[in-house]
Amino acid sequence: MTPVWDLALRKRLDAGGSRFELDLSLRSDAQRVVLFGPSGAGKTQALRMIAGISRPDSGRVAVAGRVLYDSAAGISLPARERRMGLVFQDYALFPHLTVRQNIAFGLRRGWLNPRRGERAPEVERWIEALRLQAVAEHHPHQISGGQRQRCALARALVNAPRALLLDEPFAALDKGLRERLRQELLALQQALALPMMLITHDDEDVRVLAQQVLPLDAGRVAPQDGRGLAAGSASD
């Protein structure tokens, strides 16, 4: 049976003045995988390599049976063709665009901004699904942290991605909002049956969202404790 995640990533990295080699392997049928570990462990770099933003020195990336990168076979699809929905830690919303335009930007090739009056069906679907109707014409600085997170999520989903990749999506939110949005993200992932990989160093994210945990430390999969977390890791 073809695994959901078939990863073998190797890359020499520099982090905080230290050099180490990221060496990550995973074959898993889990729909929700969490990369867990301290800052500088290589989690974000691994996610960027899966998305196609960064290139491994060697290895393989296959998601849901589709090969995205294989150094031995000479395969390296560009990020746009991989159809990975990526949500950055700071959400990376364009401050001069409205919520609707930010979401619509995910449909665009190139750097032309969507016109303010456009109403694409795919965009309207996610505005409604993620309850952004009331702020659709607002700019990012005019909306709450939770609304910004949902806007970034809608932009990642508007292209019907094959998988969702999230880099600490709750880090900038207060505790109560994090609790609510974890449940919303879990319900959305289950409804869409969409493979999801999430970076965190928060034990609670692991407890609620993880079907499988991959603890990283200095680029390597770390020993795990009884909870499936990296031994000696600290939570928020």
For the stretch 151-199, pLDDT in tens is 999 999 998 999 999 999 888 788 888 888 999 999 999 999 999 999 9
Over residues 216-234, mean pLDDT: 59
Strands 75-76 and 163-167: unpaired
Global confidence as pTM: 0.87
| Per-residue confidence (pLDDT) for residue 232, from 0 to 100 | 37
Q: Pick the most confident of 12-21, 163-172, 219-228.
A: 163-172
- Cβ contact 58:71 at 8 Å: yes
| Per-residue confidence (pLDDT) for residue 17, from 0 to 100 | 66
For the stretch 20-78, pLDDT in tens is 889 999 999 999 999 998 888 889 999 999 999 999 999 999 999 999 999 999 999 99
Residue 109 pLDDT > 80: no
Q: How far is CA 202 from CA 39, 45, 77, 182, in A?
A: 12, 18, 32, 12
Q: Which two tokens stand for residue 137?
A: 């014409």
In whole angstroms, give the CA distance from residue 168 to residue 197: 10
Q: Which residues contact 168 (CB under 8 A, 6 or more apart)?
A: 89, 199, 200, 201
State residue 87 phi and psi, 5-degree precision. -115, 120
Radius of gyration of the chain (CA): 18
CA quadruple 131, 183, 204, 193: dihedral sign: negative
Percent of the chain topping pLDDT 90? 67
